[in-house]
Amino acid sequence: MTTNNIALITGASSGIGAVYADRLAKMGYDLILVARNADKLKQVAKKIRNETGAEVEVVIADLSQKDELLKIESLIKENKAINLLVNSAGVGAVAPLLQSNVDKMEDMIDINVTALTRLSYAAAPEFIGRANGTIINIASIVAIGPEILNGVYGASKAYVLALTQSLQHELGQKGLRVQAVVPGATATEFWDAAGMPHSNLPSEIVMSAEDMVDAALKGLELGEVVTIPPLQDGGDWAQYEGARKLLSQKFGNAKPGARYA
């Protein structure tokens, strides 16, 4: 992965996105960093330029706004040096469904689902055409355990996981690399914005953003389509996926199951 190509990272002003920016710059990438917090994003960019000498472009954009999202889509299509997209921008929630404002839930869907989808749609054909490109989508363990936190948040991350697996199925043999990263509780500002600072969580379940991203990049190196940094035994995921795929082969029947007679 050591290149002079360009990685575009959304949600790059803090947390997981900022760590990806640091790590990829140190691996030889130049960067396009996207976020809506201009001050924080510029600070991240300055630090990376000073420490690595990488070329870093800053793009201030709110991906929940259609016109600003379209600007990033166009950038991906027009800049042929971009060969890595990290969809790290995301919004979370911890409150139960009926205690959550539905307008804020819709805003979450705009970022976690719509923006990620449109940027992936912009990148995939470009990367296939160049026979060189990778899309990294940041999901969450709530994609697998929707009971853990807010239901809309869990559903949005289940979408991210399913979309990534579908991209692998459809386009993995056409030159596109995809990876869904599935973090557990990670020590970032995400929790503050969601209303539950990670300092309130048991320390033994909270991973640093640096460890999480380093593990995710190792998973990419190993060729994993789904990387779950906090999962200690990777065989557990292989077993789960095997059972899921086996079950999915049992749905093709013209008649309902006998239990519905």
Q: Which residues are catalytic?
A: 153
Measured distance CA(109)–CA(88) in Å, rounded: 14
For 177-235, the DSSP string reads EEEEE---SEESTHHHHHT--GGGS-GGGPEEHHHHHHHHHHHHHTT-SEE-TT-S-HH
Amino acid type, 64: S
Cβ atoms of 76 and 8 closer than 8 Å: yes
Residue 176 pairs with which residues in a beta bridge? Answer: 133
Distance from CA of residue 243 to its chain's centroid? 25
Closest CA to 177 of 211, 215, 140, 227: 227
